[in-house]
A = this chain, B = another copy of it.
Amino acid sequence: MPLEWRLVEAIIERALEEDLGAGDWTTDSLIPENHRTQGTILAQAHGVLCGAEIAMRVFQRLEPAVEFPHALADGAPLAPDMPVLRVAGSTRAILKAERTALNFLQHLSGIATLTRQFVDAIAGTGAQIVDTRKTTPGLRLLEKYAVRVGGGRNHRIGLYDGILIKDNHLMALGGDIREAVQRARQSAHHLLAIEVECTTLEQVRQAIEAGADGILLDNMPLDLLREAVQLAKGRVRFIEASGGVNLQTVRAIAETGVDYISVGALTHSAPIVPMHLEL
């Protein structure tokens, strides 16, 4: 799914607002209004690019007629000193937009890069890397887009577009999975799938019998995970694993036969890919 630009404009606007406020005293004092220049954003590390079009819109917001003689596409591999985006136009506009454009690029490329590492680590296994709702407040749609750019897939976007019955729900209900699935089936609309978080084989069995569409195997040791997969394969539409996932453990988890592995770190702890702008 592509970015919904309708929603991105407001995010860009707020980012510019918090940096520019009443105006950029330095640039407006120093640089004449009609001064024009060309700048290049350069990567300073290896990684996967994400946010090129967003960065372009940041510059355009301050000067609609700005031009981009060169631009890599999202998903492009990055290396140190590689030109990512070349921008030509009003010097004032370029300098005012610089930091905001870089903040988007570095953050989203960081997420795409980390995602790519997880995706590569399980290449050939048949499993897929998915994200979570552990995102930076206000940036969920962009961060989930960065996961897709990095080769991952999305989990549900929020609480509103999928049913995931978690331990806390079951605890509040006294642990009855059958009852939980039934209530969800009766209340939620029929285009939402129902997934049940399980930590024991007994729960897996109950979820299957209750008619869940999928199961989430949380924090299971590899042996148990394998057993759970064998129990559930073919009896639910999908099997997902989560918990204790890192670049060292992810391949072994994938090889148990799960369909999806969800990784919170993709969006909550990815370090940036450093970049800078040179005039």
- Nearest-CB distance from A208 to chain B (Å)? 14
Contact between B268 and A107, CB atoms less than 8 A apart: yes
Task: Chain B residues near A141: list those with CB within 8 A.
Answer: 18, 22
Task: Chain B residues near A28: list those with CB within 8 A.
Answer: 1-2, 187
Residue A223 at the chain B interface, CB threshold 8 Å: no
CB-based nearest B residue for A184 = B29
- Nearest-CB distance from A212 to chain B (Å)? 11
CA distance A31 to B33 in the complex (A): 41
CB-based nearest B residue for A5 = B62
Within 8 A of B (CB), among A178-194: 180, 183-184, 186-193
Task: Chain B residues near A249: list those with CB within 8 A.
Answer: none
Task: Chain B residues near A272: list those with CB within 8 A.
Answer: 134, 268-269
Contact between B25 and A160, CB atoms less than 8 A apart: yes
Residue A98 at the chain B interface, CB threshold 8 Å: yes
CA distance A37 to B170 in the complex (A): 13
Taking the full assembly, how many copies of this chain does it contain?
6
Interface stretch of the complex, out of A73-81, A119-127, A151-159, A226-234: A151-159
Contact between A11 and B162, CB atoms less than 8 A apart: no
CA distance A259 to B185 in the complex (A): 13
CB-based nearest B residue for A187 = B29
Task: Chain B residues near A214: list those with CB within 8 A.
Answer: 190-191
Contact between B23 and A99, CB atoms less than 8 A apart: no
Residue A100 at the chain B interface, CB threshold 8 Å: yes
Given contacts A138-B138, A155-B191, contact A161 B29 (CB under 8 A): no
Contact between B11 and A192, CB atoms less than 8 A apart: no
CA distance A173 to B172 in the complex (A): 46
- Nearest-CB distance from A169 to chain B (Å)? 5
Task: Chain B residues near A159: list those with CB within 8 A.
Answer: 19-21, 23-27, 96, 99
Residue A118 at the chain B interface, CB threshold 8 Å: no
Contact of A99 among B6, B134, B189 (CB under 8 A): B134
> Interface of A with B (CB < 8 Å)?
1-2, 4, 6-7, 11-12, 14-31, 33, 35, 37, 39, 61, 91, 95-96, 98-100, 102-104, 106-107, 110, 130, 133-141, 153-166, 168-169, 171-173, 180, 183-184, 186-193, 195, 213-214, 237-238, 240, 259-260, 268-269, 271-272, 277-279
Which 9 residue pairs across A and B have the least CB separation, nearest first? A162-B191, A21-B160, A15-B137, A29-B187, A24-B159, A138-B138, A161-B161, A269-B271, A25-B188
